Amino acid sequence: MNSITNKLHLLTLLAIITPCSLHGMKTEYRSTDTEYRPLETLPQDVKRHIGSVYLESVLGYDFSLFKTIEVKSNSTSSSSVTSVAFSPVNKTILIGSLDSTATLWNRETEKEIQVFKGHTESVFSVALSPNGKTALTGSGDKTARLWDVETGQLLKELTGHTGRVSSVTFNPQGKTALTGSWDETARLWDIKTGEQLQEFRGHTKLISSVAFSPDGKTILTGSFDKTARLWNVETGKELKVLTGGTKSISAVAFSPDGKIALIATGNNASLWNIETGKQLQEFKGHTGLIVSVVFSPEGKTALTGSNDKTARLWDVLTGKELKVLTKHTDAITSVAFNSDGTLIATGSRDKKVILWKRSDFTGSWTTRVGTAKEVFTEKGKYLS
């Protein structure tokens, strides 16, 4: 059932077995008082494939290898990739490396455009400002640095951390930068002056990951103290503690609507309601530590990257694994979506950044109408 021909046959079946049938809606055909469901008459493996192909068509999650960027070292150190970030405004991608540099690449031509040199130890995290004009890097040399994307010149050096700067990001307005460090603190910086505006202190072990809420009023931090914490940006006060369980938290992200936190602990990732502090969903499937997580721009799917050399795409509603990206030959260190969700970037210790392109899909997300929930949850006894 894996060939193109068989998939076309399944799509034909989907045209016959309408969404109404999938949803279990009543039809004019009845043998008894029970509802008529055509899926019940099909073999089990066919049911599974129908569900998968149908979801693929409405979710648009079928990503395939598009381009591979080979990252070469700009020093005598390793060029293993540590972090990737798409530009929000053009066809460039920023790549951080163990060789203490960050490089800007044209993702269409696969050509290096700019090299940002100045850190004295490995670059572990990179970000691009919302207008694409400024790059931000965090390093093992305990500093974060702001760079002019066009010229490659250093704009500001953000100093104050006493440990590795493990995670960096811009606020949605592009006026401030947030850094997380192994010194157990997160710090907020004015990107024009380079001055520290706020310090977020409360974690008892290193901070692995930081994120801004979409409105820029709240930050999320993940730590090896096994907690994720929400903070008020203006006051610096801790708002809530999300307990990740018995393992260290290695990565965090906000949903596009700011209502859900995506948290990675060990080999699993989970979704948490920010208002109630309760866990909503768990994603299981990786066989190695998850080190990077992100939501798709529309928030329907979540992407995770792991030391098991794979990146995995998940349906937020059901927790179902949708796609496994498997071309890397070493641990994946970073994952990212571009601004419209049509491209995924995965960076790895194998010194490569792979770009994955979503298959063309002209349908609307509104056609989903709970299909994933219906097929895999309520009707799961027929398809799984």
- Same domain? For 86 and 30 the reply is no
pLDDT the model gives residue 50: 61
CA atoms within 13 A on the CB side of 223: 26
- Same domain? For 252 and 328 the reply is yes
pTM: 0.81
pLDDT the model gives residue 54: 56
* Residues 6+ positions from 212 with CB-CB distance below 8 Å: 169, 170, 171, 172, 178, 218, 219, 220, 233, 254
- Same domain? For 143 and 246 the reply is yes
Rounded to 10 deg, the angle between the 4-16 and 44-59 helix axes is 90
Confidence of residue 44 (pLDDT cuts 50, 70, 90): confident
Per-residue pLDDT reduced to its tens digit, 266-299: 999 999 999 999 999 999 999 999 999 999 999 9
- Same domain? For 49 and 102 the reply is no
Highest mean pLDDT (candidates 40-49, 86-95, 355-364): 86-95
Torsion of Cα atoms, 138 then 140 then 141 then 146, to 10°: -10
Per-residue pLDDT reduced to its tens digit, 13-31: 444 344 443 333 333 334 3
Query: What is the token pair recorded at 291?
Result: 């080190």
State the sign of the Cα–Cα–Cα–Cα dihedral 264, 265, 268, 274: negative
- Same domain? For 56 and 89 the reply is no
- Same domain? For 21 and 92 the reply is no
pLDDT the model gives residue 128: 98
| % residues pLDDT > 90 (the chain) | 74
As a whole number, the mean pLDDT across the chain is: 85
Give the mean model confidence (pLDDT) for residues 6-10. Answer: 45
pLDDT the model gives residue 246: 84
- Same domain? For 163 and 51 the reply is no
In 3D, which of 222, 201, 200, 202 has the Cα closest to residue 211?
A: 222
Confidence of residue 72 (pLDDT cuts 50, 70, 90): confident
Please give the full DSSP string across 245-261, using - where no structure is assigned: -SS-EEEEEE-TTSSEE
Confidence of residue 370 (pLDDT cuts 50, 70, 90): very low
Domain CATH for 345: 2.130.10.10
- Same domain? For 91 and 35 the reply is no
- Same domain? For 368 and 329 the reply is no
- Same domain? For 149 and 41 the reply is no
- Same domain? For 167 and 299 the reply is yes
- Same domain? For 73 and 50 the reply is no
Report how many domains make up the chain: 2
pLDDT at 182 over 80: yes
Range of the domain at 43: 4-60+364-383
pLDDT the model gives residue 46: 67
